[in-house]
Amino acid sequence: MNPLRQFLASITIILLSTGTTLAQEKIAFLAIDHGYWQVWLMDADGQNPQLISRSPYDKSRLSWYPDNNMLLVAGNQGELVKLNLRQKTEIPVTIKLPQKKNPPNDTVLSPDGHYLAFSQIPVDDIYSKLWLYSLQTGQSIAIGRMRGFQHEPVFSADSQQLYFLSGNNQQNHDIWRYSLSGQSLEKMTHEQLYNLDVSLSPSHNLAFSSNRSGNYEIWITDAKGIRRLTQHAALDARPSWSADEKTVAFESTRSGIVNIWRVNPELPQSVQQLTDFKEGARYPLYQPQKSDTMMPSQ
């Protein structure tokens, strides 16, 4: 046998004998199980889907912890847990809410594990307000103090910027960016109907859904400018960048019911279906590159 082949074969035997497998990039997502939207995990090519959560409530938002072994899971009624992907256990996460009577919505964890971002609807106002919460100090900072809805926050890969959506209840909904260090705001889209579902790549490229072309499609902004990535009569939404930025996963109804698809941003015709759940699958979230940043204790 060729010496190199013999070496590789011996390594494979060692890995199998110790129960260790080579790591593959994963996609976390939501799909129905026994009447509830639960957390699932699959390989990036759609293979080996596994049910991870089983608790009896609908999950609505996911974000990765820095070690990639856990997810922060938010529920529709304000539930918030740390989900261990290996043990499939849920540990409740408790935070000091700035408005105690209102549950948090759209809660996400920053990639460095230091912050949470979430929205709350004030008791004296119909509009939601966005908050940045420090897991180290327990303090909350109001973001923007703007009129209109503020929701669906998402952090940049370096945790230095927070993107979110804001609309004034008229015929537009825009993407905004908040700098954590400079505490400054910047409007990223400008009243071109509804812009939703922001995803940030490691190099700060944007992917989002928008109906500016008359139908909800996936759009991206990168070095080439802003362009439409998908074009289909169905609903395309909830994009997620892969760690190498070579793929965007998204949810779509193009098969008749919402399921997860993916596309190469450089090859828009390369659309491929990843899931085929009869009751639907949505909210794909690629596993990021592993961070060496330590998480604060909970």
pLDDT in tens, 22-74: 357 899 999 999 999 999 999 999 999 999 999 999 999 999 999 999 999 99
| Euclidean distance between CA atoms 62 and 152, whole angstroms | 11
Q: Residue 292 pLDDT > 60, yes or no?
A: no
| Euclidean distance between CA atoms 281 and 28, whole angstroms | 11
The percentage of residues in the chain with a pLDDT greater than 90, rounded to a whole number, is 70
Strand partners, 42: 27
| Euclidean distance between CA atoms 64 and 70, whole angstroms | 6
- Ordered by where they begin, the domains of the chain are 23-286 (2.120.10.30)
Contacts of 124 (CB under 8 A, 6+ apart): none
Which one has a higher pLDDT value, 249 or 147?
Answer: 249
Q: What is the reported pTM?
A: 0.87
pLDDT in tens, 198-241: 999 999 999 999 999 899 999 999 888 899 999 999 999 999 99
Contacts of 87 (CB under 8 A, 6+ apart): none
Tell whether the torsion through CA atoms of 244, 89, 39 and 115 is positive or negative. Answer: negative
